[in-house]
Amino acid sequence: MLKLFIFFILKTTTTVAGVLPFHILVENNQAFAINADEKLAFDTLYFANDSLHLKMELFDAEIVAKVDGESMKGTFRKKMANLDNREGAFSAKFGQDFRFENGKVSPSLANKYSVTFNDGEADMITEVYVAESAMLRVEKLIGIKGEEAVSLQKDMALVYLQDAVMKCNQAGREAIQAFAEGDELRVMLMGLKRFTKIDPINTKEARRRVADALLAENKYIF
């Protein structure tokens, strides 16, 4: 069984960079991304030219890393709607069980957090990735077929996005309330409200349009 510690640094077109620590567990020729209690399977794992290749179709993402002894360095690539890749650099070390370097969690937003959500709460990272992937796929379809031809797919993606934002807001509140208090708590909750703001849509009507289309055909049409 191979267990790797991944330090993923996402580099966007802005000056902001984020650090996302997680584990990769490899067993029986299958790889899994481990984030706290969450375990997500990679669809493809293979070695080529001294590099490990991992693909996760759900997120249109791929990791390619060159192996050097007990460490790896490489690139995280995410396929965007315009078929360009967004890339981030990462490094991995073999056998490290911890995700956070100092083993402690700081109450500063500028640092990294280890938060265990209550049972039943969706993981925020998963919600963001799935919602982004859904929106990008619809954006790609609109570019190919036109907005009217994919109106139902757009409805489904927007409904999921609304739900995902609400779940992230709830999970974020529980996480912040687990360690912050007083003025710090109020400031962080204000920040959470700002970053989970979304234009409302009539989700009931959107769901009804999708349901009516399925009922009319009496089968799954997507």
Do domains 2-94 and 124-217 share one topology? The answer is: no
**pLDDT single digits (tens) 125-140:** 888 888 999 999 999 9
In the predicted model, what is the mean pLDDT of the chain?
Answer: 76
**pLDDT single digits (tens) 7-28:** 333 332 222 345 566 777 877 7
Which CATH architecture does the domain made up of 2-94 adopt? Beta Barrel (2.40)
**pLDDT single digits (tens) 162-205:** 999 999 899 888 888 888 888 888 888 998 898 899 999 999 99
**Segments making up each domain of the chain, as ranges:** 2-94, 124-217
pLDDT at site 15: 28
Strand partners, 88: 10, 76
Q: Is the pLDDT of residue 157 over 80?
A: yes
CATH 3.40.50.2300 fits 124-217, yes or no: no
- Of the candidates 29, 42, 137, 23, which has an alpha carbon nearest to the alpha carbon of residue 90? 23
Q: Is the pLDDT of residue 211 over 90?
A: yes
Strand partners, 190: none
Q: What is the CA radius of gyration of the chain?
A: 20
pLDDT at site 46: 84
The token pair at 194 is 């700002």
DSSP single-letter state for residue 119: T
pLDDT at site 71: 79
Backbone phi, then psi, for 209, in 5-degree steps? -60, -40
The token pair at 61 is 């993402």
pLDDT at site 32: 83
**pLDDT single digits (tens) 67-116:** 787 778 888 877 655 555 677 777 777 766 655 555 544 444 444 445 45
| Ramachandran category for residue 36: left, alpha or beta (phi over 0 → left; psi -120 to 50 → alpha) | left
**Dihedral Cα 110, 89, 72, 66, nearest 10 deg:** 180
Residue with the bigger pLDDT between 131 and 2: it is 131
pLDDT at site 95: 67
Which residues, 6 or more positions from 216, have their beta carbon under 8 angstroms from its beta carbon? none
**pLDDT single digits (tens) 26-66:** 777 788 877 767 778 888 888 888 788 888 877 778 888 88
Q: Give buried/exposed letters for 134-158 (b at 16+ CB in 10 A, else e).
A: bbbebbbbbeeeeeeebbbbbbbbb
pTM exceeds 0.85, yes or no: no
Distance of CA 206 to the CA centre of its chain: 24
